Amino acid sequence: MLLISIAQFGVQIGLFSEADADEEENTGGLHEISPNMRLTAWSQIGEGHYDPSQTKISQLRDPLYRYIHRVLSNSLN
């Protein structure tokens, strides 16, 4: 089984550069984000209105994001 850190995963999928991988915001785990930041992020990657209880994976524009969502949701359970 291949194990990689969150920082390594972020570099591999292009979330941040290798130089930024060791920064606390990229290695510190999950962070609470404001509702405004969630809406802004959703407008960049999804379609339609963002509602955490109603939004479906099929509303993600990029198939790569749908794949990443599936990988993460299956590996974090």
Q: What is the pLDDT along the chain (77 residues), one digit of tens a residue?
A: 567 777 788 888 888 888 888 887 776 666 677 888 888 888 988 999 888 888 888 999 999 889 988 888 887 65
Look at residue 1 in the predicted model and tell me its pLDDT.
57
Does this model's pTM top 0.75? no
Both tokens of 43, joined, read 């407008």
Among the listed residues 31, 5, 3, 30, the one whose alpha carbon sits nearest the alpha carbon of residue 18 = 5
Long-range contacts of 40-45 (CB under 8 A, 24+ apart): none
